[in-house]
Structure 1
Amino acid sequence: MKKNLVLGVVLTVFVAFAVWMFMEKRQVAYVDTNVLMENYKGMITAKKEYEGKVKVWKANVDSLMKNWEVELKVYEKERTSMSKKEIKLKEELLRNKQQQIGNYQQAIQEKAMKEEQIATQTVVNQVNDYIKEYGKKHGYDFIYGANGTGNIVYANKDYDITEDVLKGLNDEYTN
């Protein structure tokens, strides 16, 4: 009998605790990650810096290609006055230069991809860190990220804190 009473009290306390936990209102919000990434000044700056680097790299490749094309045209003009040995040597030289340019171009493309990944990940980390601090500061239990790929299919706009987070991010970035 005493065992049943203790068990009943424990069960009642457990049920009361479970109901209290269930009934407690959780602070929940979401941010539109696409809007944050498109409008965060840190991302805009990173994108401009990346595009500037790509422009320089492309100009280098274009310059190398232009020089190679000029060299090819000169060879085509002078070919008739060259010996077979000179022709063979010049053609080999042109092929080697063309291959080197191709290798350089491929290396630049790989470097560009890595640079873009690093820049993007750096910004994503900054945004995530800010959102964590924002959530702690404002007492949120959960802040979800909606990005259009199905993480959150629907959410009431009352829970959207994107603009407030974006403003805070941009203010922090400019200061």
Structure 2
Amino acid sequence: MKNVSLILSLIAIAAVAVFGTLTLKEKNETGKAPGTAASDSTAVTAVKGDIVYVVFDRIMTEYDMANDLRTAVETKVQNIQAEVDRRGKKLESDVNEFQDKLNRGLITRSVAEVRGQELQQQQNDFNLFASQKQNEIAEEQTVMMNQIVDALNTYLEKYNREKQYAMILINQGGQPVFLAQPGLDITGDVLAGLNEEYVKNKSKK
């Protein structure tokens, strides 16, 4: 059957596609761009009316809520991967068994035609399942990022009522802040407040 080798290759492609997005996203989130991270020992010298910035890469790696959410998403992805792998291996086994019987002349042409159609449908179902799971992972990632950004925005609004900075920039990968005085980096101060608030709220649950 012509479609047998194609089915096997598509199984592998579909399984890999499900998990590529998360891997790339994790690298982007945890990678540190040169010149963007400031030491926690650097004192904030900014005063009322200054333009300050927060390094988002540090928020993603040092904010307790971000780490907890990432761990939860990773667990879900691992479970999804295990199920996709299981279904993919089952389909691959069925295809190999069919191919072996076909090569040894153990099934009639009519049976081979019917079985070939069944395997094609199995492949279609598997591809649909893998695609749905890929979308599910993307949705989990989006919700995770929305939760982190929302928590950060909410905290910064409250934080700036006291500090009254003219502007708070969110810096990621060296953009939009390429170079600035270390004292304008309020990331450490913001992280301390975020984590304190997160631990406090977590203990109430």
RMSD, aligned CA: 1.7
**Is 2:115 the partner of 1:90?**
yes
CA deviation string 1:23-75 (max 9, x = no partner)? xx624432222211221111111111111111111111110111112212322
Identity among equivalent pairs (%) = 24
Matched pairs, number: 151
Contact 2:53 2:187 in 1 (8 A): yes
- Confirm whether residue 63 of structure 1 aligns to residue 86 of structure 2: yes
Partner of 2:197: 172
Q: Following the alignment from structure 1 to structure 2, what is the Cα–Cα distance between the partners of residues 164 and 78? A: 68
Q: 1:13 matched to which residue of 2?
A: none
**Consecutive unaligned residues in structure 1, runs of 5 or more:** 1-24
Residues 135 and 142 in structure 1, CA contact (< 8 A), matched pair in contact too: no
For the pair 1:32 / 2:55, whether they are aligned, the reply is yes
Which residue in 2 is equivalent to 1:103? 128
Asked if structure 2 preserves the Cα contact closer than 8 Å seen for 1:29 and 1:140, the reply is yes
Report the equivalent of 2:65.
42
User: Could you say which structure has the larger radius of gyration?
Assistant: 1
Q: Structure 2: how far apart are the matches of 1:63 and 1:140?
A: 54
Q: 1:61, 1:105 within 8 Å by CA — same for their partners in 2?
A: yes
Residue 144 of structure 2 is aligned to residue 147 of structure 1: no
User: What residue number does 1:131 align with?
Assistant: 156
In the alignment, is the contact (CA less than 8 A) between 1:68 and 1:98 conserved in 2?
A: yes
Q: 1 CA distance for matches of 2:140 and 2:68?
A: 14
Aligned partner of 2:74 among 24, 37, 51: 51
Give structure 1 regions of 4+ aligned residues with deviation exceeding 4 angstroms. Answer: none
Partner of 1:74: 97
Cα contact 2:49–2:164 (8 A) shared by 1: no
Which residue number in structure 2 is paired with residue 119 of structure 1? 144
Q: Is the 8 A contact 2:57 2:172 kept in 1?
A: yes
Amino acid at match of 1:116: Q
Alpha-carbon distance between aligned partners in 2 of 1:125 and 1:116, rounded to the nearest angstrom:
14
CA contact (8 A) 1:135 1:141 kept: no
TM-score, length basis structure 1: 0.78
Q: Which moved more, 1:133-142 or 1:53-62?
A: 133-142
Per-residue CA deviation, residues 73-111 of structure 1 (Å, 9 max, x unaligned), is 322333322121111001111111011111111111122
The unaligned stretches of length 5 or more in structure 2 are 1-47, 201-205
Could you tell me how far apart the structure 2 residues matched to 1:76 and 1:142 are? 66
